[in-house]
Structure 1
Amino acid sequence: MVTSLSQDQIDIVNKTRDAMLSGTPISTLQRITSKEQPVKGPSWVSRQTYHAPKVEGNFISSIVYNAIEALGDGSERPVDFAVEDVDVRWTGYRAGSQTDQPEVTINDSEKQKFAKLMSDVKHPVTILYFIGGGFYMNVPARYHSTTTKLAQLTGGRCLSFQYRLSPQHTFPAALIDALFTYMSLLYPAPGHFHEPIAPSSVVFAGDSAGANLALSLIQVILSTQSRGEKVQFNGRLEDLPLPGGITALSAGLDMTYALASKENIGFDIFNGEWSFHKPEFPSCPLWPSIPPRRHVYCDASLMCHPLVSPSIAKSWKGAPPIWFAGGQEVMAGSARLAAQVIAQDEGSVVYEEYAEMPHDFPIMSENWPWALTEDWPQSIRCMEHWAQTCTILSEGRNLKSKAVFISAGGEETSLDLTNLSGFSLEEAKRMMKESV
């Protein structure tokens, strides 16, 4: 492997990959990654719960199940889930605070903290952030630094939400939570901290599995609009509009891993297979599931559904502009295919691939070298482009479609956007079905 990375950097990637492949029980991972993180430094955080409507919950979940049926082939067997309460948190940049300054408490009033947060907002963009974690771990508290950075760079505000995790809550529970959260942004119930938000000023942002969920929600919206459906919500029949755009970091859009770019293993923390498939993977009360299934997120009948693996969505016609960015990583193949299909549908899409960078390189954790954006030019550039794109999309401006490979030195090489993955959509579907 020819690389400009130092041996220390290579060792960090290899060590992280080995640790992930060694296998930690899923119940342990959930417990570790679900701990509340203290809020420190330049962050405003305001917490709230969006309460599920007692009467209209079935109308919301039916939108998702109708899309599953419309976009599938009839073989799917999704589990039935109702709408449930969703915990959300607003994050904003807290101007003038110090790096280690503790969270401000205002008579324990989350609503007053929201008002303080809004006093520091300089731009109308609202970023709806979809957290990553493979659908089976993580909480919004672990994304404070990411959402605060995006709020700082855009001058706007972020809303992240806790969707239900697998394997306890399989597909489409997380997607139902995402739809309910988005609808609550646009049409807030009495008692919500915010006023109704124009969908054109909302930008979806997500990383890894969160990027998958954001793009799946776009497919739900497009499918719903094609049938002329409306949503019964807060006592009214409402439209389901598209947001201003989508921004996706290190998007994992193929749950089968059949489209894995295994030539990138040397740079990435993944190796192109799920550790929980291995016979030696340690069992726990959550996994392996009883009865067994193909993935923690869903069973085999759903692995190739475009709301589970949106890389093989048939059409993106009518979608808002979409920005992809990521490292030279194993999941790149699925993101490349999605960008390619969007371009073939004459959609507005930008694809940026950063040489020698691993999955989620600018945001993984405070101890991850590449996440120290002040020290890594690739991370600085990626975060700035991410924020700039959120701002542009919220203002109704379009993206000039392109695909680029960005070297460690910052030089851009143009890529063929219409043949970015090297295979067609039909070939990808065949590969994924054979894998399942």
Structure 2
Amino acid sequence: MPVTTASAAVHISPVVIKTFFQHGKRRAELIKAGDGFKTEEAWDDIFYDQAFHIVKAFIELGTNNTVESLQQFTNTHVPSPPWAAVSPVCIPHFSCNEAADILIDWFGPEELKCIVGGERWWQIRGLEGIDAEWIAEKENLTELRDENHPKEKLKEKDANILKMESLETVMFYVHGGGYFWGSINTHRYQLIRYARETKARIFTVNYRKAPQYPWPCPLQDVLAAYMYLVNPPPCALHKAISPSKICFAGDSAGASLCITAMAVLRDLGKPLPAGAVLISPWVDLTHSFPSIISNAQTDIIPSHGFLARPSPVWPVDPLPKGRGRVYPTHTNIPPAPGHGDTLKPSARRLETDDPTQRQELSPEQVKSQSDMLDSSAGPDLRASHPSSSASDEAHNNALLRDTNSWEPKPPKVLMKDPNAIPWEIGSQIQLYATTEQLTHPLVSPILQGSLGGLPPLYILAGDGEMLRDEVIYLAHRAAHPKEYPARSGVLESARRQKENSLKFQTPTKVHLQIYDDMCHVPTIFGFMPNIKYAYRSISEFAKYITQTDNGRLERVPFPELRQLASLPNIFDTSGSSTDRPPLSQEHRSVSSDINMFEAAEKVALEEFWEDKVDVNQAKSEVERGQVVMIRERVNIRGEVRPMEPKGEMPVLKIPPSEVGLLKEEPASKWKSGQDEWDRKFSRSAKRVEKQRQDISLKADKLVQNARQQGLVSSDAQSSDRSSTSSSSRNERRWGPLDLAGETPPPTAIAGRRDSRDALALLKKLIYHTPPITHNTIPRLKAADTLKAAFDPHDDPVRPPQQSASEQQVHARLWPMHGLRIWDGLVGYFGQKTTQRALRRTKSTGSLVNATTGQQ
């Protein structure tokens, strides 16, 4: 049963009932123990408990269905509420090609060929641009004067874009969803809330999704959206927006795309935005940090990763091939380039490692992990596997030194037992990128040569989420680039990253907050008191960095420190930090988000005041820009406290040599999950292989018929790309028939002919919107038109509906979509939580009054 509103209701309803009774049982036990009325954990709130399990159940429903089904459900158009001004726009090829030029310059010819697989396939798209939206609160818009447009009558959505010009702050939001699901529709109500609290205009983009459009397709679309803002094409209604007025924001995969896009802009000397809000950024696709295992039970993300029912789109191999999906290595040398532990093969490797001449060894001839490392073959052939034996410290240190001299690439797996035979990964494990690409710094930005030299960052994460450790590590790497260097192997294998490690040593100003008990992307649960504070804090940050002049922003990058003049009023000015009056810790059951933010400002100032001689010294250090990082934790009531010292955090003691390695435990989790799915959906997998064969025959026939019907194409010169004229940028478009000499990833829609999505793309670009290389547009035969009329996935006149990974779906029969229902539930939970808190406050007040009267 596909992912629909009905199937979601059927799947989730038992979860709601079960959670209700389990929560009641837990509360009863607490009451019996005398702690029943305390709310110390997020789980004590019935509405968080229910919402957590609803979201977790929905994601589990998605893993039991096809990728296409989940994409279609989460990319279904959801109407906006009447109080919001939502104006859809299409980012044209002009901006897309500008972004492509930026990426082509960043990669260079060698990386484009060896790592990306070419410069054309990732530029192919089914739509005539990228879906995007402007969002603002109607009450914040200013009326247009008639003399501004005396001769034209604008549509409401176009007029609203012009009315938004008066809003100074622009939040450019990039949604999450594991790179393969989610859309501007899943996040629209969150964005409307940001627009209301920030009094800003929000710009959000519906970037192309994997696996049909894998890396670097989403990155190109995010860069294109940014260029659309700062360098609008002639068709755009808005004026060029200064980068200093733009705040990037995103969650999960979207947050990772934000920081990756900023790194590309930084490297090429392009104007950077004023700053960025990163909510639970997914920055390590190799899952090399401990919390990916330790927090599996307290997060909404499946512990085995994102799996799916087999379909023509995913997985690459519906059934395990050869030795299986994960298996002990069967050779003492790394697998062939592009299929093993090297992403970019060295010249020596290309000369000496011919896969056609390789001889497989018997199991007894294969070396252990430790022996491979100690092999005399040289560091280029060694595996990075430190010993797990605590007694052999010298040997362990030697192994760690070797990890710094060699850059291991997936699918080699770091084993716990140094005497074990290393594993190899035989299947693609992430939808976003091939296994060989996972350690590329633009795929996993935690491996950037340096994260210094970026604009101010406000980074949030939940303490219970699986990505917690990589988020904390990312924040500290950015704020302290010298203390947390990149792995040596990353620098040795990439010229640009080696240059960046030396070039960008200026600390990035970072405000890091970890929310107690919360799971991945805490802002989903907007009804919780601490998340109300989060929305306020995000809004204040966005306003501050976009409305403060650059000189002051460099010195005072955080809104929490802007009230420097109030320092003498907050702390004792006697010069003794021990004599200053403590901040009030009085707990208020109900506190507005503004009050919570003001309280958080005091905590930040007190934290900064620590170890300062007097107020003047504190002011001087702030004004000189010496404040690099604010580190805090937030409890479930929205109360902020300083984070523990760095020396007490295990994640910050992880050596750089272990960051970005595929390790045994996460790989084993994925393998067990995938093995279960292979058994569960074995029949579906066999049907998928037959479907792929049938669709491939249709695609071949489509191309053959098109050539017979008059299709004539000629290869356009790559020199066309070098032209910066508006006309060339608008005209430069590629199609699936233009990929000679390129090697797209196996999931890329541009290089495939075996899925309905690929067939729809092929037909559209042949018969409706041909690329620059097509000299003619063939006409469909009458028989083909008749077939299209009876095909639910086709159309006899218009272009076929493109993949839901790119084009929004419009519901025709059932107007009440599950996404709207979820927003209604969140609103209901928020209302009930507030009412309950008010009742508790009144009860507490009555009790205090009664007690006072008795005294």
How many aligned residue pairs are there?
396
1:316 correspondence with 2:363: no
Report the Cα offset of residue 307 of structure 1.
1.0
Q: Match for residue 176 of structure 1?
A: 220
Counterpart Cα distance in 2 of 1:424 and 1:67: 30
Q: Match for residue 50 of structure 1?
A: 91
Report the Cα offset of residue 428 of structure 1.
4.0
Superimposed CA distance per residue, residues 195-247 of structure 1 (whole angstroms, 9 cap, x where no aligned partner) = 1111111110001110010011011112222xxxxxxxxxxxxxx21111011
Return closer, same or farther for 1:7/1:47 CA change in 2, 3 Å cut-off. closer
Amino acid at match of 2:459: F
Report the Cα offset of residue 65 of structure 1.
3.8
Q: 2:431 aligns with which of 275, 286, 296?
A: 296
Give the SS at the match of 1:141.
Answer: coil
Counterpart Cα distance in 1 of 2:214 and 2:648: 33
Q: Match for residue 237 of structure 1?
A: none
Return closer, same or farther for 1:416/1:193 CA change in 2, 3 Å cut-off. farther
Query: Do the aligned partners of 1:27 and 1:285 also contact (CA within 8 Å) in 2?
Result: no
Give the SS at the match of 1:404.
Answer: strand
* Greater fraction strand: 1
Q: 1:127 aligns with which of 152, 159, 171?
A: 171
Counterpart Cα distance in 1 of 2:279 and 2:518: 12
Q: Match for residue 357 of structure 2?
A: none
Query: Do the aligned partners of 1:260 and 1:272 also contact (CA within 8 Å) in 2?
Result: no
1:258 correspondence with 2:288: yes
Q: 2:480 aligns with which of 344, 350, 357?
A: 344
Q: Match for residue 360 of structure 1?
A: 521
1:274 correspondence with 2:305: yes
Please, which moves more after superposition, 213-222 or 140-149? 140-149
Counterpart Cα distance in 1 of 2:449 and 2:646: 17
Q: 1:326 aligns with which of 458, 461, 469?
A: 461
Amino acid at match of 1:344: H
1:88 correspondence with 2:132: yes
Return closer, same or farther for 1:430/1:243 CA change in 2, 3 Å cut-off. closer
Q: Match for residue 786 of structure 2?
A: none
Counterpart Cα distance in 1 of 2:50 and 2:158: 46
1:390 correspondence with 2:535: no
Unaligned runs of at least 5 residues, structure 2: 1-25, 27-39, 142-152, 319-426, 482-506, 559-626, 668-855
Give the SS at the match of 2:659.
Answer: helix
Q: 1:405 aligns with which of 622, 626, 633?
A: 633
Return closer, same or farther for 1:299/1:356 CA change in 2, 3 Å cut-off. same
Q: 1:286 aligns with which of 305, 313, 324?
A: 313
Superimposed CA distance per residue, residues 74-110 of structure 1 (whole angstroms, 9 cap, x where no aligned partner) = 963446422751121100012299xxxxxxxx97442
Query: Do the aligned partners of 2:132 and 2:203 also contact (CA within 8 Å) in 1?
Result: yes
Mark the structure with the bigger radius of gyration. 2
Query: Do the aligned partners of 1:243 and 1:320 also contact (CA within 8 Å) in 2?
Result: yes
Q: 2:644 aligns with which of 408, 415, 419?
A: 415
Counterpart Cα distance in 2 of 1:333 and 1:46: 38
Report the Cα offset of residue 31 of structure 1.
0.7
Amino acid at match of 1:384: R
1:61 correspondence with 2:88: no
1:213 correspondence with 2:257: yes
Report the Cα offset of residue 343 of structure 1.
1.5
Give the SS at the match of 1:27.
Answer: helix
Counterpart Cα distance in 2 of 1:107 and 1:165: 33
Q: Percent identity?
A: 21
Query: Do the aligned partners of 1:25 and 1:284 also contact (CA within 8 Å) in 2?
Result: yes
1:307 correspondence with 2:442: yes
Give the SS at the match of 2:93.
Answer: coil
Unaligned runs of at least 5 residues, structure 1: 98-105, 226-239, 365-369
Query: Do the aligned partners of 1:403 and 1:417 also contact (CA within 8 Å) in 2?
Result: no
Q: Match for residue 76 of structure 1?
A: 115
Report the Cα offset of residue 62 of structure 1.
3.7
Q: How does 1:421-432 map to 2 (within 5 A)?
A: 421-424=651-654, 426-429=656-659, 431-432=661-662
Q: Match for residue 27 of structure 1?
A: 68
Please, which moves more after superposition, 254-263 or 155-164? 254-263
1:154 correspondence with 2:306: no
Counterpart Cα distance in 1 of 2:261 and 2:140: 36
Amino acid at match of 1:310: P
Give the SS at the match of 1:5.
Answer: helix
1:17 correspondence with 2:59: no
Counterpart Cα distance in 1 of 2:242 and 2:647: 33
Return closer, same or farther for 1:89/1:258 CA change in 2, 3 Å cut-off. same
Query: Do the aligned partners of 1:83 and 1:177 also contact (CA within 8 Å) in 2?
Result: no
Q: Match for residue 166 of structure 1?
A: 210
Please, which moves more after superposition, 400-409 or 162-171? 400-409
Q: Match for residue 78 of structure 2?
A: 37
Counterpart Cα distance in 1 of 2:110 and 2:656: 15
Amino acid at match of 2:304: E
Superimposed CA distance per residue, residues 336-389 of structure 1 (whole angstroms, 9 cap, x where no aligned partner) = 111010111222001101101122222x3xxxxx222xxx21111110111111
* Greater fraction helix: 2
Counterpart Cα distance in 2 of 1:18 and 1:212: 25
Q: Match for residue 712 of structure 2?
A: none
Counterpart Cα distance in 1 of 2:530 and 2:117: 40
Query: Do the aligned partners of 1:83 and 1:176 also contact (CA within 8 Å) in 2?
Result: no
Counterpart Cα distance in 1 of 2:473 and 2:211: 27
Counterpart Cα distance in 2 of 1:150 and 1:71: 42
Report the Cα offset of residue 51 of structure 1.
1.0
Amino acid at match of 2:439: C
Counterpart Cα distance in 2 of 1:358 and 1:317: 28
Query: Do the aligned partners of 1:337 and 1:425 also contact (CA within 8 Å) in 2?
Result: no
Q: Match for residue 366 of structure 2?
A: none
Counterpart Cα distance in 2 of 1:215 and 1:425: 22
Counterpart Cα distance in 1 of 2:239 and 2:439: 38
Counterpart Cα distance in 1 of 2:640 and 2:517: 13
Q: What is the RMSD of the two structures over their aligned residues, measured on CA atoms?
A: 3.0
Q: Match for residue 246 of structure 2?
A: 202
Counterpart Cα distance in 2 of 1:425 and 1:46: 48
Counterpart Cα distance in 1 of 2:178 and 2:93: 25
Query: Do the aligned partners of 2:122 and 2:217 also contact (CA within 8 Å) in 1?
Result: yes
Query: Do the aligned partners of 1:260 and 1:332 also contact (CA within 8 Å) in 2?
Result: no
Query: Do the aligned partners of 1:136 and 1:297 also contact (CA within 8 Å) in 2?
Result: yes
Query: Do the aligned partners of 2:266 and 2:454 also contact (CA within 8 Å) in 1?
Result: yes
Q: Match for residue 379 of structure 1?
A: 531
Amino acid at match of 1:348: K
Report the Cα offset of residue 317 of structure 1.
2.3
Amino acid at match of 1:324: I
Query: Do the aligned partners of 1:71 and 1:305 also contact (CA within 8 Å) in 2?
Result: no
Amino acid at match of 2:188: H
Return closer, same or farther for 1:153/1:57 CA change in 2, 3 Å cut-off. closer
Report the Cα offset of residue 431 of structure 1.
3.2
Q: Match for residue 235 of structure 1?
A: none
Give the SS at the match of 2:459.
Answer: strand
Q: Match for residue 233 of structure 1?
A: none
Counterpart Cα distance in 2 of 1:145 and 1:184: 23
Report the Cα offset of residue 116 of structure 1.
3.8
TM-score relative to the length of structure 1? 0.82
Return closer, same or farther for 1:71/1:334 CA change in 2, 3 Å cut-off. farther
Counterpart Cα distance in 2 of 1:311 and 1:164: 23
Report the Cα offset of residue 314 of structure 1.
2.0
Give the SS at the match of 1:383.
Answer: helix
